[in-house]
Structures are given as C-alpha cells and as structure tokens.
Amino acid sequence: MRITVDLNKCQDHGQCVFSAPSVFALDDQGKLSFRAETTGSKYTSADLDESLRDDVEEAADACPLQAIMVEG
C-alpha cells in the first residue's frame, strides 16, 4: 500500500496529520512536510505497513481538497 498526494491540490489544511500522525506532518511553517522532499507536484510514499490502512484512508476522506490517494 502506498499513498500519493497531489501537491497542487493540497492547501496544507493539516487534517491528515490528525488522522494519520505517523504518516503525515506539517513543518514549522505549517506546510505539508512532503513538499520539502518532493520535486514535481506529486508525492508518492514508500510502501506503508497494512496496519496504517485505516489511518491513511481516514486521512484521504478528511482531506478538504481530496488530494490524497491510497493505492494498493
């Protein structure tokens, strides 16, 4: 299972951080931390443990801009 985040859609609301705190974080500017490590507009995670599925699905549902996809 992986997640992707469309960084053009994302507006750094941070709802994902509350749903899946072990996957998502905001940096000290309040920006999604994946921005700093991503070139281009789409972040793709490494393989995530299946135990995180409920959390990341909740994050995808809770994203106001619907920018998170759970794949696999």
Partner 1 sequence: MTGGSGVDREQRCVVVGASMGGLRAAEAVRKAGFTGEITVIGDEPHMPYNRPPLSKDALLGSTGAADLAFRVPRAAQDVRWRLGERVIAADLAARTVTLDNGDTLDWAGLVVATGLSPRRVPIPGPLAGRHVIRTLDDIAALRRELTPGGRLVVIGAGFIGCEVAAVARGFGLEVDIVAPEPVPIERPLGAELGSALRQRHEAHGVRFHLGRLPVRFEGPDRVTSVVLDDGTELAADAVIEAVGCVPNTGWLQGNGLDLSDGVLCDNLLRVQGRPDVVACGDIARFPNLLFDEVPRRVEHWTMVTDTAKKAGNTLGRHLIGADPDPVPFAPIPSFWSDQYDLRLQSFGAVGLGAEDVRVLEGDLDDEVAVGYHRGGHLVGVVLIGMAARYQHYRALIADCAALAAAEA
The site string for partner 1 over 10-49 (x = CB under 8 A, - otherwise) reads: -xxxxx-xx-------x-xxxx------------------
**Which residue, 19 or 43, has its beta carbon nearer to partner 1?**
19
The structure tokens listed for 56 are 């990341």
E strands, the chain, in order: 2-6, 42-44, 68-71
Binding site for partner 1 (CB under 8 A): 11-15, 17-18, 26, 28-31, 57, 61-62, 64, 66, 69
